[in-house]
Amino acid sequence: MRAHLVVLGTQWGDEGKGKVVHLLGKRADWIVRYQGGNNAGHTVVFDGRFFILHLIPSGILLPGKRCVIGNGVVVDPEALREEVRFLEARGIRLRGRLYVSLAAHVILPYHRWIDQIQERTGVHLGTTQKGIGPAYADKVARIGIRVADYLEPTLFQRLLHNNLRDKYPMLKGLGSLSGMEKKIFRAYPGLRRFLSSCAADTTALLQRADRRGERILFESAQGALLDVDHGTYPFVTSSNPGAAAASVGTGVAPQRIAEVLGVVKAFTTRVGTGPFPTQMPDPLASYIREKGKEYGATTGRPRRIGWLDLVVVQSAVATNGIRRLALTKLDVLSGIHPLKMCVAYRHRGKLLKRFPASRTVQQELEPVYEHCPGFAESIRQVRRWRELPEAARRFVDRIERHTGVPVTLVSMGRSREETLVRTTGFQWL
């Protein structure tokens, strides 16, 4: 039996997972999202076309591939319908190849409202305000509404009523309880019809696919440092982007997942608040932001920019069993000299090799940098390792040395073609 692959981000998201999944997805039969929701924004550029996927796996852009939104995902029915319409209007055929788990939890308008209110009045995390945190909170509190529940009108009505009643003290500034209920109910019949057309027992589908020897690519959203358990808590998302969650979030047994590939950007970015030891000041940050088009694919917010932080990448490698890396956006660093990479932190005279748990200490870290020579020339046309400028090769070599895993892919542009395949023996290429 063949084993499956997880593709995940090793930093704070937006590493270029969409591009990598689109590239490797050719060898997959199924492409599966297992956590997160439409807080994700995965960009795919091919044949002069440009797409941003939020909830639907990036593999949907590969003709004939089947895609699953697993039980670990939180699904906003309105956002999903909009995304399906957007894709169909651009000639992407989805019929019969998109399945949404009956056990996935739904995001309802009140989750979005609560997310917005909490951002204003609680700890300001800089969330995407898509209702992700409040929906996962309900799931864990066992008052969540799953797709299966949503499809049963009487049950849905009761659950909705109870939840709105309990949450009303927080929402009362937005209008009357019955007004809110009516608003949600007005949209419900159409959304229910839509969701029932793609809802399925996806665990059974994937387990059958696994038994038949079909290949599954698990597409993570967000990044290792946004993981609610292993990230920079509380400045994280409310799910586990980590590889272990691929099993929990789909029902495919953990030992069937043999390959884990981490996507690492040649520098670091972060949207939203939270510690970011290698964040760099302007004018270099603005230069990289403009050159790399570093604006949120979901919210349009400017991303914070920093040097490559190998302590962060190393922790992602260890926690997720990453065996290969795909390095993206190396092209953006051309013309910058010297290049820096963080290999440890200093805190009050002490050298730290790991990201500390204390949020106070996290805010006070001083990065310890290694300097590397920069490269002046544009590398976007390079397709072979030997054609890369020596300084660029040394930059990649250092990443391998510090993380202990090979860089299998080097991406030098947005489109599929702008990629250098470095090592062979990877069965997904």
Alpha-carbon distance 217 to 7, whole Å?
Answer: 7
Given the structure tokens 């190849």, which residue do they identify?
A: 97
Smallest separation (angstroms) from ligand GDP to the CB of 77: 22
* Residue 226 touching ligand IMO (CB under 6 A): yes
Of 249, 272, 275, 277, the one binding ligand IMO (CB under 6 A) is 272
Query: Interface with Mg ion by CB under 5 A: which range of 40-48, 231-239, 316-324, 346-354?
Result: 40-48
* Residue 41 touching ligand GDP (CB under 6 A): yes
* Residue 36 touching ligand GDP (CB under 6 A): no
CB-nearer residue toward Mg ion: 5 or 221? 221
Query: What are the beta bridge partners of residue 262?
Result: 8, 325
Task: List, in order, residues 6 or more apart from 84 with CB less than 8 Å away.
Answer: 56, 94, 98, 194
Which pair of structure tokens corresponds to residue 12?
């704070």
Of 6, 8, 18, 39, the one binding ligand GDP (CB under 6 A) is 18
* Residue 243 touching ligand IMO (CB under 6 A): no
* Residue 83 touching ligand GDP (CB under 6 A): no
Measured CA to CA in angstroms, residue 304 lies from 276, 280, 289 at distances of 9, 8, 8
Q: Which residues are catalytic?
A: 14, 42
* Residue 70 touching Mg ion (CB under 5 A): no
* Residue 74 touching ligand IMO (CB under 6 A): no
Query: Interface with ligand IMO by CB under 6 A: which range of 91-99, 120-128, 150-158, 279-287?
Result: 120-128
* Residue 302 touching ligand IMO (CB under 6 A): no
Of 39, 268, 403, 415, the one binding ligand IMO (CB under 6 A) is 39
Query: Interface with Mg ion by CB under 5 A: which range of 170-178, 245-253, 293-301, 320-328?
Result: 293-301
Which residue type is seen at 176?
A: S
Alpha-carbon distance 311 to 226, whole Å?
Answer: 15
Virtual CA dihedral for 322, 333, 366, 8, nearest 10 degrees?
Answer: -20
Q: Which helix (H) or strand (E) holds 58?
A: none
- Measured from each CB, the residue nearest to ligand IMO is 272
SS3 (DSSP) at 391: helix
Phi, psi (rounded to 5 degrees) for 152: -100, 105
Phi, psi (rounded to 5 degrees) for 164: -65, -40
Alpha-carbon distance 240 to 59, whole Å?
Answer: 21
Question: For ligand GDP, what does the binding mask look like between residues 325 and 364, x meaning CB under 6 A?
Answer: ---xx-xx--------------------------------
Measured CA to CA in angstroms, residue 215 lies from 4, 253, 411 at distances of 6, 14, 24
Of 14, 76, 259, 294, the one binding Mg ion (CB under 5 A) is 14
By the 8 A CB rule, do 413 and 334 touch? Answer: no
By the 8 A CB rule, do 315 and 253 touch? Answer: no
* Residue 412 touching ligand GDP (CB under 6 A): yes
- Residues in the site for Mg ion, rule: CB under 5 A? 14, 41, 297
- Residues in the site for ligand IMO, rule: CB under 6 A? 9, 13-14, 39-42, 125-128, 130, 132-133, 221-223, 226, 237-238, 271-272, 297
